[in-house]
Structure formats: structure tokens, C-alpha cells
Amino acid sequence: MLLIKNADIYAPAPVGRGDILVAGGRIVRIEPGIRIPESYCESFDAARLIAVPGFIDGHVHMTGGGGEGGYATRTPELVLSDAIRGGVTTIVGCLGTDGVTRSLRALLAKARGLDEEGISTFIYTGYYAVPVRTLTGSIEQDLLLIDKVIGVGEIALSDHRSTQPTFDEFARIAAEARRGGILSGKAGVVNVHMGDGRRGLSLLRRILDETEIPATQFLPTHINRNPTLFQEGISYAKAGGLVDLTTSTVSAFLDKGEVQCSQGLRAMLEAGVDAAHITFTSDGQGSLPDFDEQGRLRRLGVGRVTSLFAGVRDAVLEKHVALATALQVITANPARILKLRGKGHLAAGADADIVLLEPETLEIQGVIAKGRWLMKDREVLVKGTFE
């Protein structure tokens, strides 16, 4: 058992100062003045700290990504300590451009490995390409038969690396994902990679106009990729759609017009977008390729899961977004959208995934996942098997 005393609790809404009692990997009670004999329980005084839910990163290339510049540009796998340093206690893994040398079997194995090492993991089936390659032969079967599969993606649209799916092909993917999600009790979300192409969200909007599939079935990511797509994303979100902003970036992207995620959050809120429709993801371990106008690779960066909370922190400290609102985009919102039960909130019965923050700087001081200390007093206590 673990008793966190006197924390300023954001669940993610502020609930005041109190104690959090953890047992068996779950939160048992949250209230002021909990008393447990010391012989039964470890006690930690968090009087100078803020306690928030563990962060959810819904788009991470766990097994690495990239390869757009040849074999030497394949990015490395995620290591556990990177997630811990970023306060990330739940990860959804995906493949990207390469679904040949990066396989779904390897992604599933990596997810199970990270789970054994100490954090919670899920995956998407498929990758950029259509027809969708799956583990069992269909999206529906993957959702129904494989516990960690919660959706499909990232399916690439409006991108020169996409397989240019037709309306009918994309509609069938969404329909199968929805049916599999309904039958399995999972989200069945279609994670959509948005590129720089001039068609933008047009295929998504057409699906919503011409079929019965609801907007909540789709989570288009990289919506802050350029100003035009970003403005289209605002209209899409105000009409009921969900949008995801990518926190990993490089200076070349920002120089070319990419909207910084913290500024994007503020702009969307000011434009009247419901905060519940916005998420942040890191694109961790994914490649950040800079292509010229002819589609030739000029340079390549690597996404980092540590950028996830850095984006939220910047939104609060520099863009003056309320902490509770900014926290939603990496806690309660992805938990609801992806149907991750027990995640995204601090409440009795929820999973004991907790991040402790310094109140002035919002620096991460402690990380607890599944009721276990992974970082304490800014020191990473648990590392991956081969770190």
C-alpha cells in the first residue's frame, strides 16, 4: 500500500488538497486526512506537489519508425525510461510508413514487453497502407480476439506516402472498425495520419456526410501540420469531430508553418472548439522527415514521448491555458475517446497511475504506474530490461 499525503489534486479537474491511498495497483480512496498505520503502508508527503493522472500517449512508434531515407534512417525502439521521464504511464503503439520490415507481431510483442516492465500499453492494427494488413486476417477479428488491439491505424490520407485509398475502401475500414469495436466493447477508433496534401480532411468529411458512421470513430492526427490543415481542423472539431495535435517537432517544420501544439490548443479554445474534442500525442520514435516540393528527403528527426507533457507545460506556462484544461488533452480526453477504462482520472477505483508535479515550474518530480514508483524525487527508479 502507498499513501500520498497532502497533495494538491487535479483529477484532472481541481479537487483541492487531500490524500490518495493506493493498494493493489488501484486508487482505493481520495480524501483529506486518511490514516493508515505505518507498518501497513508506505507514506509520502506531497504537500509541496500537484498530483495529476498519469499521461496517455495515444500515438507512439514503439518499435521505431522512419525509413523514408533508406534502411539507415529507420528510427530506434522506445525505451522505458523515456516514457517515465515524460510522465507517460499509458501508450498506444502504432506502425507508420513501413509495415513490411516493421511488423504487427513485433509491435504486439513490444507492447507486452513494456507492460511487463511497468507501464500500460495498447496498439493499433494496420499501418499507412490500404488494404489494411492485420494479425488475424481482419480488423474486426483483431479487435475481438487480441486484447491489446483497440483500433486501426495510422491510415495515411492526403500524403504522398499514402496508398491513396478510395472513398469505398476508407468507408469499409471505418465500418469494420466500428463493428469490431461495438462487439468487443473497445473504441474501434480509426487513427488517421494527415499529410500536407491539398485534399486535407475532405475524405473524412465525405464519410461523415454520406454514411452513418459518426465522427467519434475517427481521430485524425498531425492536424497542426500546416496552417491550412489546422484551420480546417478547427471547423471539423467545431462540427463535432475529434482532432489530435502532434507535440514532437523540429525547427524546420515550425519555420515552414507548422502550428506549435501549445499555441494550437490555445487557438482552438479561443475559436470555440470544445476542449473535450482535442488530444495531444507525441509521435514518439516516429521519424520527422522534411521533404522538398518534389518529395525528396532533405533531413530527418525523431519524435520523443517526452515532448507530450512539454507541450502541455508550455500551454500552461507560456500560453496561459488553465492547467485543468491543458491536462485533459493527455489524460481524460484520450481515456474517453479510446475507451481506456481506469485511465485518465484520479478517482477511487481508477488505476494508480499518478504524476507528481512541482507547482511553479510544472516539472515532473514523481511517476507512479500500476501503483509502483517509477520515478521519485526526479530519479528514474525503474529502467527497461536492457537499459
Active site residues: 283
Cα–Cα distance between 334 and 60 in angstroms, integer? 14
61: left (phi over 0), alpha (psi -120 to 50) or beta: beta
Cα–Cα distance between 88 and 232 in angstroms, integer? 29
Cα–Cα distance between 45 and 60 in angstroms, integer? 33
Cα–Cα distance between 215 and 287 in angstroms, integer? 28
Query: Residue for cell digits 515550425?
Result: 254
Using an 8 Å Cβ cutoff, are 286 and 75 in contact? Answer: yes
Determine the distance from the C-alpha atom of residue 321 to the mean position of all C-alpha atoms in its chain, rounded to a whole number. 20
Pairing of strands 14-23, 2-10: antiparallel
Using an 8 Å Cβ cutoff, are 321 and 315 in contact? Answer: yes
Give bridge partners of residue 273 from the DSSP assignment. Answer: none
Cα–Cα distance between 202 and 343 in angstroms, integer? 33
Give the end-to-end CA distance of the chain in Å, rounded to a whole number. Answer: 28
